[in-house]
Amino acid sequence: MASKQHHVMAVPLPAQGHINPMMRFCRMLAKEGVIVTFVNVDLVHYRLEELKQQQQQQEDEYGGVEQQPAEGGSESCKENSKIRSAHVPVEGLDLSRGFALSSEDFFEAQKSIAPHLERLLLQLNRSGPPVTCIISDICMTAPTQPLADSFNLPRIALYPSSQSMLLLFHYFMEGPLSTSKVLEVVNETKGTCEAFATGLEGLPSIIQNHDLPQFRHVTDDTEYMFKFLTCELEHCFKKAHSMVVNSFYDLEGPAFKTMSTHVSTPMYGIGPLVEPLEESNTTSFWKEDEACMLWLDQQPASSVLFISFGSVALLSHAQFEEIFSGFLSSTQRFLWVFRSGLVQNSPSSIDPADLTSKTQGKGIFVDWAPQVQVLSHPSIGGFLTHCGWNSTVEAISLGVPLLCWPYLGDQFFIAKYAVEEWKIGLRFKKDDKRGLVVQDEIERVIKMLMQGEEGKIIRENVAHLKKACSKTILPGGESYKSIHTLLLSLLSSEI
């Protein structure tokens, strides 16, 4: 496409929901002839290498067909690939307990990679072709934007959430909303349904308190995260060459239009960034259980509810018991991703095999699942999700309705859109006295989606959005054109 060979250094945030869209974006660039060096931190790199070796051993054991190395593997194994891998150290980050750590500890540790990235960039320039652009997650602005500035390179910032969430945060930063007021409301109300703001251009007419982002995980890091994200975004708006968003105009047109009038930084909707079924997932932190696909093959069409709370969310033991009891009483077929550590302070008696035996053949539990393959299976009739943005756009692109269980950050605002704006999902109501979503409510909502008239309407709505997803990535579609406009803008950059 270009007379000059572009070589981008891609730096994702080392979290599952951020690495996945970054790799998918890089694969799109590679198909356009761009060379990509994909940089993970050591902890992630060695984890992915370990899983790759386990997969290869399993294929050898069962006589699997020999396959070519997938993109994102070690550089020595794929000389002809446009995507190369590299890794750098990170200090002060302990993922031995997964992501059960404070947000502050996690994000502050990322700053330590800056000098290592500089050494890597110099090495890449010596070995050639030289790096012509840096792409990094917006949450990796601190270690990458100064590097781009010092080497006079354009930097593309990837925003891996929704355009509407980006616009909402811009209102926090620039007004009419104030960060201090948001923090006051979030800290005091703990998610009540009172109206917080009305009439914000490009957003829903009413934003309620429980729609606001909060960051209560292992610790309450809400105040820290607001300050951190404000700082990162300010630098993106002032210095980034451009920003790319994992969304598209037909899904979030008002937010895209309004945002373009608020910031001068070029902004491109390039979504949905969904892993094609024909390509293997080389960025999963967990071994995917392919056997669950055989179980799905034996189930009736649209009869199974897929359950996944993602890679970070935690459930109390009491809440887990309510959910499981609700599924048993609903007699609903289900496939549940039950990763290690999902249930806090759980007794040793919680054994997936024992839980499966209680479902009378209607449910199974797996450590991790090939999510795009599962969602595309004809037996899947719904998706109980934490409303992470990747999971949401994957479900939309495959026409799967949602049961929304937001846990952290942007997930509350995403759930609002799914339920109230796009009308492709339902939400559970918490029992105020117990502070839990109780068994009867879980059973009620499941039946509403899987058996009720509301479920039929929701399926029709998500089917319309699925068509829009397919259209936008085809030649002539908005996301397709955005990728090519972005590449043309790089050609005109002074490097």
Spell out the domain ranges in the chain. Answer: 7-165+222-278+474-491, 291-470
Q: What is the pLDDT of residues 19-78, one digit of tens each?
A: 999 999 999 999 999 999 999 999 899 888 888 887 777 666 655 433 333 333 333 334
Q: So what's the pLDDT on residue 72?
A: 35
Closest of 90, 106, 110 to residue 43, by C-alpha: 90
- Paired sense of beta strands 35-41 and 155-159, if any: unpaired
Single pTM value for the model: 0.91
Q: What is the pLDDT of residues 183-195, one digit of tens each?
A: 888 877 655 678 8
Q: What is the pLDDT of residues 96-146, one digit of tens each?
A: 666 777 889 999 999 999 999 999 999 999 998 999 999 999 999 999 999
On the question of a common fold for 7-165+222-278+474-491 and 291-470, the answer reads yes
Residue written as tokens 């009172």? Answer: 194
- 225, 229, 230, 231 alpha-carbon torsion, rounded to 10°: 110
Q: What is the pLDDT of residues 218-231, one digit of tens each?
A: 888 999 999 999 99
The domain defined by 291-470 folds into Rossmann fold (3.40.50)
Report domain 7-165+222-278+474-491's class: alpha beta
- Exposure of 377 by Cβ count < 10 A (0-12 exposed, 13-18 middle, 19+ buried)? buried
- Per cent of the chain over pLDDT 70 is 91
Q: What is the pLDDT of residues 62-94, one digit of tens each?
A: 554 333 333 333 333 343 468 999 999 999 887
Q: What is the pLDDT of residues 405-464, one digit of tens each?
A: 999 999 999 999 999 999 999 999 999 889 899 999 999 999 999 999 999 999 999 999
